[in-house]
Copies of this chain bind each other. A is one copy, B any other.
Amino acid sequence: DFEKAFEEVKPAFGASTETLESYRTHGIIPCGDSFDHLRQTLGMLVQQVKNSDKTPLISVVLEGPVGSGKSALAASSAIESDFPFCKVITSETMVGFAEQSKASQITKVFEDAYKSPLSVVILDDIERLLEYVAIGPRFSNTILQALLVLVKRQPPPGHKLLIIGTTSMSDVMESMGLNEVFNVSLHVPSLRVDEIVKVLRALDCFAVADIPSAVDLLTSICAKVVPMKKLLLWVEMARQDVPEGHKLTLQKWEQALRDLS
């Protein structure tokens, strides 16, 4: 039946380090202090779980606009933690499953984590896990209730667990009481002008002298702040037929921005 149909594919979306890598396909491009601070804080929480006996459970939620880099940051922290058990809970491996079944799979990951001395569990895109839609609003209360309990449930004595959630709807999570069950909440912002400059430089796609104008075009045609993922996509599209080794011209850049927005 339906759920079986996925089994062959699921492994491809498994949860080994390899899978974690797939959450940062464009790498982690250095882009300024706020992102560095975020990564440091996450690192500090990893250490806290590892070292303190009185805090065997720490939970943190990363919230920010669509495409700002939440999943990449969460995956990075998990990879760098070197914890023996790292797993991403994502709706991508549960498309079309019934809510009971999803809740069961989510719980199973936590049960597995409790068996490892040190674990990271990533709850990626919590609103999607909850099957949330603003019209209604509708969502799976079964899954919500499971999360409300699982994020607070202490692992058994001697076991330690770091939970990292990501969401682009922190107001929704608040109204569901989900924010409250996380110990810490961190904001992942869209890129501001100075950060966009850093990213464009790192991408090495414009002539250095063109970068200020390129950023001007971007912020005037589109928006003042741009999420990381969108920026990377637009650059990629604009340089489509730029021959290997050539830089992107401002003209082509403007053209692409106008076509797509």
Contacts and interface: CB of A to CB of B under 8 A. Distances in A.
Interface of A: 2, 5-6, 9, 12, 22, 25-26, 41, 44, 47-48, 51-52, 54-55, 66, 91-92, 95-96, 98, 100-101, 103-104, 106-108, 111, 114, 128, 131, 133-135, 137-139, 141-142, 144-146, 148-150, 153-154, 156, 175-177, 180, 183-184, 232-233, 236-237, 240-241, 259-260
A95 B149 contact: yes
B104 A100 contact: no
A90 to B, nearest CB: 9
A111 B177 contact: no
B153 A92 contact: yes
Contacts of A148: 128
**Considering residues A51, A137, A233, which has the most beta carbons from chain B within 10 angstroms of its beta carbon?**
A233
B55 A236 contact: yes
**Considering residues A25, A139, A177, which has the most beta carbons from chain B within 10 angstroms of its beta carbon?**
A177
The main secondary structure of chain A at its interface with chain B is: helix
A141 B135 CA distance: 10
27 contacts: A2-B101, A5-B104, A5-B111, A6-B107, A12-B156, A22-B154, A25-B54, A25-B154, A26-B54, A44-B240, A48-B240, A51-B240, A52-B237, A52-B240, A55-B233, A55-B237, A92-B153, A95-B107, A95-B146, A96-B106, A96-B142, A128-B145, A133-B145, A134-B175, A135-B137, A138-B141, A183-B260
Contact of A233 (B96, B183, B237): B183
Given A183-B233, A236-B55, A144 B133 contact: yes
Nearest to A26: B54
